[in-house]
Copies of this chain bind each other. A is one copy, B any other.
C-alpha cells in the first residue's frame, strides 16, 4: 500500500497554496485533505475544547477535495490522524502558506502549529511557507515540498521534530541554497488603531508590519530567508529556555531566592 499524507493549512480549504501542494504531493502519495473551513491565521497553537467541531466534505467543481473543519489547524491534524483517516498517516504537511513564518511570529502561526501538532501525535511533519505578500507562485515551493516529503517518509532523518520550511519568492535559479536555521527574533512591530463605533463603544484594530529586530542573528531563519536561502528550522513543542535552566539550578543565589520565597 502506498503512503498516506495528511494535508492542511491555516488559510482555509479552498486556498491556492493548499491546492498546489495537493496536486504535487498526490503524485507520490494518497493525500487526505483536512483543513479549516475559514482562514485561521494567527490562531497560534489553539485547539477547540468548548464547542463541537463541525466537519463536512468540501467540494469544488463537483469533486470532493477533503474535509472542511470548523476549527483550527491543530484541530484538523488531531481529527485527521485520530478520526478521519482509515489508516495511519505517514506525514503531515501544512501549507503552502502565503507569507513567511519566521522569527518570533512563528508562535502565532497556524501553519506551523499544524506541524507541531503532527509531531506531538508522533507523525513526521513539516510546515511550508512562501515568502510572498499578496500573490505568489507556489509551483517551486510545492515541488520542493514533494522532494522533502519523500525524504521524510523514506529515510525518517529527523525524529521527534517538525520542520518549519520557508521558501524565498524568487525564480528557482536565483535561490541560493538550503540552510538549517534557528527561529530568530524577527517580529511584527504592531500598533493599535483606536476607533469608536456608531454606538460609542471603543474598539481596536491590530495594525503594523513585519520588521526585523536590530539584533537578528546571522543563522536565524529571517536573516537567511532574506538573503535568498530556503530555510529549514527544526522545531518541537518545547518553550523552555534551556540555556537558563542550568544556570538557575547551579546558582547559589537562585537557590537562596527560591527558598526565601517559601519563608513566611
A interface residues with partner B (beta carbon < 8 Å): 39, 41-50, 52-56, 72, 74-75, 78-79, 82-83, 104, 106-108, 112-113, 116, 120, 144, 147-148, 151, 155, 157-158, 160-161, 164, 175, 177-180, 182-183, 187, 190-192, 194-195, 201-206, 230, 232-242, 244-245, 248-249, 253-254, 257-262
Copies of the polypeptide in the assembly: 2
| Set of chain B residues within 8 Å of A46, measured between Cβ atoms | 42-44, 46, 108
| Set of chain B residues within 8 Å of A50, measured between Cβ atoms | 39, 41
Once the chains are docked, how many angstroms separate the CA of A106 from the CA of B116?
Answer: 13
Once the chains are docked, how many angstroms separate the CA of A249 from the CA of B178?
Answer: 11
Residue of B nearest to A82 (CB): B192
Contact between chains at A202 and B237 (CB < 8 Å): no
Give the Cβ gap from A34 to chain B, nearest Cβ, in Å.
12
Contact between chains at B178 and A258 (CB < 8 Å): yes
Contact between chains at B235 and A241 (CB < 8 Å): yes
